[in-house]
Amino acid sequence: MELRQLLYFVAVAEEANFTRAAARLHLAQPGVSAQVRQLERELGQPLLDRSGRSVTLTEVGAAVLPYARAALAAVEGARQTVAEFTGLLRGQVTLGLVSGADAMWESEAVSLLADFHDAHPQVDIAVTADGSERMLAALQCGELDLALLGTADEEPPAGLAFQIVVDEPLVAVVAPDNPLLAAAEDGRVPLAALRDVPLICLPRGTGIRGVLERVCADAGFRPRIAFEAAAPKLLTGLAARGLGVAVVPAPDAAGAGGLRTLEFREVRPRGRIALAWRAGGPAGPAARELLEHLRKALGTAGRPGDRTAAKT
């Protein structure tokens, strides 16, 4: 068994296609296929099911995949450890960034990553924008090293660690003629007033959507989502056209000109963004260095809001 065979097997498993895997590895497809078949012969079991339009893992392949990834990570870790002793940090880090982040957050993320690259030019950073639930799963299975994601909880799931970097109240944003204003007193409405009201919110799988669904369920009803979009500005824009009630973090409502902002009376739902990583820490030195860089920077940076201590 050779490391390159494990590398090819992992690439095919992740791409679900031999041609895409070969392109990712900058190799010819027949060579990749031959090496994977050789690995299967050495193990005595098929690892991949080639019968469908996409290549899928067999039961044995699914069991072997974590070990193959661990072996490759161990080799990369050894290389990076040697690099550390020479004072040169190398490697690749995979970072997830919550989709739908506003322009300020995107700009801040770019600035933080650029600062890190200036200090460590030999580290490659692959940034993926996705939904928070999918990024949590990717962290747990090792596809991501770190993620900035929305969360409905203050505490991380088992196996992960959090540092909450933004903690803001959620508010309702409505057009000046919206009937919801009739239920408001002192700029606040009961959560029950949202029952059967067309709501505008972030997509399912985001932290804010999870918070909204949870507090509505606690109040005894299911939210009626009329529109969903990944960008907060689009949410408030839809509300401005009278299409429903947008539920967004308070800072996003502040820039929504001509709209009315309402807080909730009995409950205080929060929108949170967390820096997340595996509880044992990232595997490679480069990822650990980026984690420390982000933890220090995000301890004082970001949008105004109540911050909590790291949840480790």
* Length in residues, the chain: 312
Angle among Cα 47, 52, 56 to the nearest 5 degrees reads: 35
* CA neighbours closer than 13 Å in the CB half-sphere of residue 67: 8
Six-digit token pair at 203? 């997509």
Domain edge (last residue) among 36, 52, 84: 84
Express each pLDDT in 65-120 by its tens digit. 999 999 988 888 787 777 666 555 777 899 998 876 555 666 788 889 999 999 88
Domain end residue (candidates: 52, 84, 116): 84
Residues 168 and 239 in one domain: yes
Give the pLDDT band of residue 306 (cuts 50, 70, 90): very low
Looking at the fold, whether 36 and 139 belong to one and the same domain comes out as no
- Sole residue written with tokens 């747990």: 140
Same domain? For 123 and 41 the reply is no
How far is Cα of residue 47 from the mean position of the Cα atoms in its chain? 29
Do 153 and 14 share a structural domain?
no
Q: List the one residue out of 160, 159, 161, 3 whose CA is nearest residue 76.
A: 3
Domain enclosing residue 10, as ranges: 3-84
Q: How confident is the model at residue 204 (pLDDT cuts 50, 70, 90)?
A: confident
Q: Do 53 and 150 fall into the same domain? A: no
Residues 156, 18, single domain; the answer is: no
- Residues 231 and 164 both lie in one domain: yes
Cite the DSSP H helix spans in the chain.
Answer: 3-15, 18-25, 29-43, 59-85, 103-119, 132-141, 207-218, 232-240, 250-254, 285-298
For 235-279, what is each residue's pLDDT tens digit? 999 999 999 999 998 888 876 678 999 999 988 899 888 999 999
How many independent structural domains does the chain possess? Answer: 2
CA atoms within 13 A on the CB side of 150: 29
Last residue of some domain: 53, 84, 115? 84
CATH number, position 128? 3.40.190.290
Q: Are residues 60 and 128 in the same domain?
A: no
**Do 241 and 181 fall into the same domain?**
yes
- Give the domain CATH number at 77: 1.10.10.10
Average pLDDT, the chain: 86
Element (H, E) at 276: strand 270-278
Q: Are residues 248 and 267 in the same domain?
A: yes
pLDDT band at 56 (very low <50, low <70, confident <90, very high): very high
Q: Is the pTM of this model over 0.75?
A: no
Domain shared by 216 and 71, yes or no: no
Residues 310 and 187 in one domain: yes
